[in-house]
A and B are shown apart, each in its own frame.
Chain A
Amino acid sequence: EVQLVESGGGLVLPGESLRLSCSASGFTFTSSWMSWVRQAPGKGLEWVASIKQDGSEKNYVDSVKGRFTISRDNAKNSVYLQMNSLRAEDTAVYYCAKDQRCSYWGQGTRVTVSS
């Protein structure tokens, strides 16, 4: 059974940083792209970033380029999202998803950016 478990969310001040983690199990992690998708309160879904199996290719939505970094540790079956210079508009539930088409989703971790 595919399982994705996110962690690392919380309440931070504007301008601060946060690192999200996603632990994966139940599938061959090294064979899958991995993605992060977010959902602001009461809003729809927004793709944030994806990373290739070996980490050699990373893609981002324009609104987070230069501030967020996606990475992975294949030895730990984990994917990460380093979020710097956080803004109020980054407030959302952040989901980890399997592959670029987002075939499996975790339960999400909530990030709140507020003063």
Chain B
Amino acid sequence: DIVMTQTPLSSPVTLGQPASISCRSSQSLVHSDGNTYLSWLQQRPGQPPRFLIYKISNRFSGVPDRFSGSGAGTDFTLKISRVEGEDVGVYYCMQATQLPFTFGPGTKVEIK
């Protein structure tokens, strides 16, 4: 199974300041079809997860442009350019390249 790791596991940030989360996979996430199925999801307190970014860097419908994704192969990053109060929650990376699909442990973003 592909193991997903995230750093940091907790990220206290100041409102208006940037935040960055790293995700690393134990194997390359490049699929045989050439795509890299690495996604980012946000889970606000008491809510179901919300899909943010797919295939490394594509923002999903309705996702603010302060969220961006980058990376390749086994190393990926989610960046929030200016953290707002509604961004508080846990962020997960997920790989859907190889079965079984797996998630990172989550990174908790909270306001300082």
Contact = CB atoms under 8 A, between A and B. Distances in A.
Interface residues of A, number: 20
Interface in A33-67: 37, 44-47, 50, 59-62
A61 B39 CA distance: 19
B60 A105 contact: no
Contact of B51 (A62, A101, A106): A101
B80 interface: no
Interface string B29-50: 0000000010101010000111
A101 B105 CA distance: 17
B67 interface: no
Nearest to B50: A105
B49 A45 contact: yes
A59 B104 CA distance: 20
Contacts of B41: 45, 102
Contacts of A45: 41, 43, 49, 92, 94, 103, 106
Interface of A: 37, 44-47, 50, 59-62, 95, 100-108
